[in-house]
Amino acid sequence: MPAHIRTGTHFMSGNIASAEGALAAGCKFYAGYPITPSTELAEWMSRRLPESGGVFIQMEDEIASMGAILGASWAGKKSMTATSGPGFSLMQENIGLGVITETPCVIVDVQRGGPSTGLPTLVGQQDVMQARWGSHGDYEIIALSPDSVQECFDITVMAFNYAEEYRVPAIVLMDECVSHMWEKVVIPSEEDIKIINRQVPDSPPPPGQDYYPYRCKNGGMVPCMPRAGEGYRIHITGLTHTEKGYPRIDAEAQEKLVRRLCDKIRLNQDKISKVEEYLMDDAEICFVAYGTTSRSARRAVKIARQKGIKAGLLRLITIWPFPENRIRTLAERIKTFVVAEINYGQIFYEVQRCAGGKAETILVPKLGGELHKPDEILKGAGI
């Protein structure tokens, strides 16, 4: 068993579990800047990465951190960073660069109360729309949200797999509570951990023959990714570019490139999107939650059931792409969606949009600093 995978049963925090998940997924490079409440993840990686032949660098800021992990990815290494709200804001421009250059990497955003410096040590879920729309332009992103320390491990592995499979930055939207929570974590054996690696080209073309790093094979939507320094002539730019990688500034090139960048996620939405359903078979009221809020929502469902109310929980594991089809299907048969989130309404508007007026949609907000209590969710739902 490789030394970098610590199999067995452990007692650890969410930040540490996420770091161990990254190592299990094959992460070999971490660049980041300390920021509460994600710093423990960086501290853990600074000790553990060298044990597996990896490299840890503390950068001067979050802008540089994103640039560094993009560069490491083009050198062929799985790479990641971790941050929180203000640092996540600084990363947005280079996240957009990662999208247009199709650079796989993972960003863990441990959400705290905002805006600005906000509540550095207290919980929030106020970055979910920023994860989707934080950089400019049309693009699609993958973002996932764990609700337990075990899932901090599992979902970090999943994020690396999605990043590699679709050549896109993948975001783990943790929150302060789950990042600092300590629970049992079971790390399976190496052969039981599903790992996806990026597709690489077979060999460089013969001398004098053009190479097309952004050309997809067999009608696919994700091109193979060469490693810099292995004989490929690569041009990487944030400008709209052709399959050869060189800038081409016209509407035709933009249409072809951006449509593919979006469609490689949109057309695989049902494959990527993951939810957990609890007591939804006969539910008339559907609580919608994600992250640690879903733990309170699950308890609220149990209390409602004890009162004879047919309630269920739809827990969002994948935030982006949003599970639109499942919401639309449920809206055909339930009476009410109740969305509990630690913000003043973000995912609520997505649920309301997909419900299309066929089911009532109620927001139960918290503005940061603490989790919902189950009775608060029930009160907000009128139960």
The structure tokens listed for 39 are 């710093």
Helix (H, G, I), strand (E, B) or coil at 57: strand
**For residue 265, which of 327, 328, 321, 322 has the smallest C-alpha distance?**
321
Band of the pLDDT at 204, cuts 50, 70, 90?
confident
Fold entry, domain 8-192? Rossmann fold (3.40.50)
Section 354-381 average pLDDT: 97
The pLDDT, as a whole number, for residue 230 is: 87
Per cent of the chain over pLDDT 90 is 93
- pLDDT at residue 3 in the model: 53
Please choose, from the candidates 116, 49, 124, 118, the residue with its C-alpha nearest in 3D space to the C-alpha of residue 81.
49
Which fold is adopted by the domain 277-380? Rossmann fold (3.40.50)
> What are the residue boundaries of the structural domains of the chain, listed by start?
8-192, 277-380
> What pLDDT is attached to residue 218?
84
Q: What is the mean pLDDT of the chain?
A: 96
Does the pLDDT value for residue 49 go beyond 60? yes
pLDDT tens figures, 149-186: 999 999 999 999 999 999 999 999 999 999 999 999 99
Residue 274 pLDDT exceeds 60: yes
Shared fold status for 8-192 and 277-380: yes
pLDDT tens digits, one per residue of 85-118: 999 999 999 999 999 999 999 999 999 999 999 9
Beta bridge partners, 363, equal: 339
Q: Which of 240, 238, 236 is nearest to 225 (CA)?
A: 236
Question: Residue 1: which pLDDT band, with cuts at 50, 70 and 90?
Answer: very low
The predicted model scores a pTM of 0.97
Per the CB < 8 A criterion, the answer to whether 77 and 142 are in contact is no
